[in-house]
Amino acid sequence: MSGDKVVEQVKESLVRVACCQIEPRVGCKDENVEKTLRFVEEAVKKGAQIIVLPELANTGYVFETRREAFALSEPIPEGPTTKVWEESAREHGIYIAAGITEIEEKSLYNTEVLLGPEGYVGKYRKLHLWNREKFFFEPGDLGLPVFNTEVGRLALMVCYDLWFPEVARIYAVQGADLILNSTNWVAGREVQPDRDKITPAVCVAQSNMNAVFIAAADRIGIERDQPFLGHSLITDPRGLILAGPASRDQEEIIVADCNLVDARKAKSRSRLNHIMTDRRTDIYDILLGYEAVPFSW
């Protein structure tokens, strides 16, 4: 059966996605985790089936020393934060994607974990470390996995990864429908309205170029003199904004209904245009380092 016929038979795969924009506090792990659980509860009341929390949601972001980062880190999946989020996902029958400071032996990673109704699903380690993150974390070493779930094909990315076109494209080639981006977009000391438009524009562009949904959950607040941008948003495979951008300085939840079948349909822009099969892999795959096994379109 051809891919087009399969898409025609599957009328919809509707899922409600929520991004929880919160303000973690560095070093206050118990307080942060408790806050995430409250926001998950509120998102569930809004009907959310997939919930995204910010980057390093359990520890805060601006570490002063590597020793501090080590003290706040946890193994995955056996660490207490992952277990608490896993319990919440099981209880509510939902998926939770959230950022966490991970330790493995003597290495630290800026990690996003995915939990579902069945428990631990998997994790992704941030590939592109931003600025001072390089002092604390090792670059991600788990590649770009796509997780097949009962609600759709889910992929993870963290913050700065969004700025590298290879990440979203490789996910799209592997058949991802929805990318869950746990992020801590930093902001300038003063509000700059034009600059604030850049991050939503990058989400829009990546969704449009790769025909994927993107749900980006940012944080707010000022942590050790570093302001954060907020502006969480959810975009569709055409590049339209379904929810958000959220405010710059308020904790809030944004929600959108996403028909994940649309990600498959949008890859065929017309009878003659298909943004996956039209790729000139004979020319540029080797140069760009694409080693992902393509989805069978």
Instruction: Report the interhelical angle of 198-210 vs 165-173 (nearest 10°).
Output: 30
Give pLDDT, residue 1: 42
β-bridge mates for residue 98, sequence order: 113
Q: Kindly state the average pLDDT of the residues 40-58.
A: 98
Give pLDDT, residue 143: 93
159 in catalytic set: yes
pLDDT tier for residue 91 given thresholds of 50, 70 and 90: very high
Cβ neighbours, 10 Å, residue 250: 10
- 8-state DSSP, 246: -
| Alpha-carbon dihedral 125, 36, 92, 154, rounded to 10 degrees | -30
Distances (CA, A) of 269 to 146, 170, 208, 261: 23, 19, 11, 14
Which of 20, 159, 203, 258 does the annotation list as catalytic? 159
Whether the pLDDT of residue 5 is over 60: the answer is: no
Between 34 and 1, whose confidence is greater? 34
Give pLDDT, residue 112: 98
Whole-angstrom distance, CA of residue 165 vs CA of residue 127:
13
Would you say 21 and 228 are in contact if contact means Cβ atoms under 8 Å apart?
A: no
Q: Kindly state the average pLDDT of the residues 268-272.
A: 83
Query: Mean pLDDT over all residues of the chain?
Result: 92
Q: Kindly state the average pLDDT of the residues 2-15.
A: 60
The closest of 62, 64, 103, 54 to 80, measured between CA atoms, is 103
Whether the pLDDT of residue 287 is over 70: the answer is: no
Which of 23, 55, 86, 112 does the annotation list as catalytic? 55
Whether the pLDDT of residue 165 is over 90: the answer is: yes
What pTM does this model have? 0.93
The token duo for 43 is 């998102």
Would you say 92 and 44 are in contact if contact means Cβ atoms under 8 Å apart?
A: yes
Give pLDDT, residue 7: 46
Give pLDDT, residue 279: 84
pLDDT above 90: percentage of residues in the chain: 80
Which of 23, 126, 223, 267 does the annotation list as catalytic? 126
23 in catalytic set: no
Query: Strands 252-259 and 14-21: what pairing?
Result: antiparallel
What digits encode the pLDDT tens for the residues 233-263?
A: 999 999 999 999 999 999 999 999 999 999 9
For residue 251, what are the contacts with CB-CB under 8 A and spacing of at least 6?
Answer: 21, 22, 23, 39, 220
Whole-angstrom distance, CA of residue 156 vs CA of residue 195:
25
Return the half-sphere exposure (C-beta side, CA atoms, 13 A cut-off) of residue 256: 23
11 in catalytic set: no
Give pLDDT, residue 285: 73
What digits encode the pLDDT tens for the residues 51-90?
A: 999 999 999 999 999 999 999 999 999 999 999 999 999 9
What digits encode the pLDDT tens for the residues 99-154?
A: 999 999 999 999 999 999 999 999 999 999 999 999 999 999 999 999 999 999 99
Whole-angstrom distance, CA of residue 81 vs CA of residue 74:
8
